[in-house]
Amino acid sequence: MNADKIKRQDAYNQRNRLFEVIYVSLCSSLATLFFTGLTFAQAYPIKPIRLLVPFPVGGGVDGVARIAFARVAEQMSQQIVIDNRGGSSGIVATELAARAPADGYTLFFGVTSALTILPHYHRKLPYDAVQDFAPINLIAAAAYILVVHPSVPAHSVKELVALAKQKPGTLNFSSAGNGTTLHLTAELFKSMAGINIVHVPYKGAAPALTDLLSGQVQMTFNPASVALPQIKSARLRGLGVTSAKRSALAPDLPTVAEAGVPGYESTGWYGVLAPSRTPASIIARLHRELTNAISDKDVRERFFATGVEPMGTTPEQFAAYMRDEYVKWGKVVKATGAKPE
């Protein structure tokens, strides 16, 4: 009987030792994984970061990207290579970003058109604007200004809407072409105001502005950087800005929403995204660096000088904003049947 008890005790002790070995091994493995991940997050970045920009060097989008990321590069003590990949209205760069490794070393400088408008024009895009990206920070936005030729007898948004309702189909608006952001901005205004105004598309922004200045067309929406000099010289009359809040670039102009079309908003925005499945620790680091960059006085002043206003959101806020924009522009494209040229 004593021998049986001894055997049972030995077996019990062996099982305990086995469980102890397994427990210690498991704790060691978990600790290794934790500290490896922590070290990786702390070490990032250990090599240059590539920022894909969907438009050529020298344009407005490129300028905003370079202003912001010059500061980010200084803060992170790491080179950031601006990779301009123009083509197909931004599709080329957007696809490259969507297919890049999700390691934080390829980022995308996203804009309104590529992520929330183009998907409604093309049935089979080589990327999914919602599923393929992890939003990081909405860093800036450019409000547009509703302008009319001085010959138009309207000095406010309400007066313009009343005039358009009184004389349907007689007011023309210009744009840089069918399906462009400014074309859709006007179509959204037309729809929400319940008016009939006629689109006159041009092959580019320059001829569209030229004919507006000469009075060949009566109205349009232009970026603040284009509209404000013409308003100051009295060659055009500004009626309202398209942002949800008054613009710091034109504080005396009311928003279109407060001046007669409640709920109206349209801006060209600039945001930074990473490929989906990028580690949360890297997203958090990049968000922090971008927030610090756009809080910098020099960066903000340079933004304003180029006609954009600094923003700043959490990744979650940016994701929600993108979803809202995606739905809004989808409805406009469907309602107008607009197609890019």
Q: What is the DSSP string of 56-75?
A: -TTSHHHHHHHHHHHHHHHH
Range list of β-strands (E), 43-126 = 49-53, 80-84, 106-111
Amino acid at 216: Q
CA distances 175 to 179, 180, 190, 335, Å, are 9, 8, 14, 18
Say whether pLDDT at 29 is over 80.
no
pLDDT of 192-214, one tens digit each?
999 999 999 999 889 999 999 99
Cα-based angle 218, 224, 227 (whole degrees, multiple of 5): 35
Say whether pLDDT at 67 is over 90.
yes
pLDDT above 90: percentage of residues in the chain: 81
Domain 143-259 part of CATH 3.30.830.10: no
Confidence of residue 21 (pLDDT cuts 50, 70, 90): very low
Q: What tokens appear for 197 in the block?
A: 């105004």
The confidence score (pLDDT) of residue 22 equals: 43
CA-closest candidate to residue 223, choices 284, 130, 141, 154: 141
**Multiple choice CATH, 49-142+268-336, 1.10.10.10, 3.40.630.10, 3.30.230.70, 3.40.190.150:** 3.40.190.150
| CA distance linking residue 53 with residue 90, whole number of Å | 8
Confidence of residue 88 (pLDDT cuts 50, 70, 90): confident
| CA distance linking residue 278 with residue 47, whole number of Å | 16
Asked if 30 contacts 50 with a C-beta cutoff of 8 angstroms, the reply is no
- Quick one: average pLDDT of 147-151? 98
The confidence score (pLDDT) of residue 89 equals: 83
Confidence of residue 64 (pLDDT cuts 50, 70, 90): very high
Cα-based angle 203, 205, 322 (whole degrees, multiple of 5): 105
Confidence of residue 153 (pLDDT cuts 50, 70, 90): very high
| Mean pLDDT of the residues in the chain | 90
- Quick one: average pLDDT of 153-181? 96
Instruction: Return the number of other C-beta atoms located less than 10 Å from residue 129's C-beta.
Output: 22
Instruction: Return the number of other C-beta atoms located less than 10 Å from residue 225's C-beta.
Output: 15
The confidence score (pLDDT) of residue 112 equals: 94
pLDDT of 278-296, one tens digit each?
999 999 999 999 999 999 9
The confidence score (pLDDT) of residue 9 equals: 54
pLDDT above 70: percentage of residues in the chain: 87
Which of 82-91, 186-195, 212-221, 309-318 is the least confident region?
82-91
Report residue 87: phi and psi, to 5°.
Answer: 130, 135
| CA distance linking residue 224 with residue 241, whole number of Å | 8
Please name every residue paired with 255 in a beta bridge, in sequence order, or none if there are none: 241
Domain limits, the chain: 49-142+268-336, 143-259
- Quick one: average pLDDT of 184-188? 97
Asked if 182 contacts 221 with a C-beta cutoff of 8 angstroms, the reply is yes
pLDDT of 100-109, one tens digit each?
999 999 999 9
pLDDT of 319-341, one tens digit each?
999 999 999 999 999 998 887 76
| CA distance linking residue 100 with residue 87, whole number of Å | 18
Confidence of residue 39 (pLDDT cuts 50, 70, 90): very low
Q: Which range among 26-30, 31-35, 249-253 has the greatest average pLDDT? A: 249-253
The confidence score (pLDDT) of residue 340 equals: 73
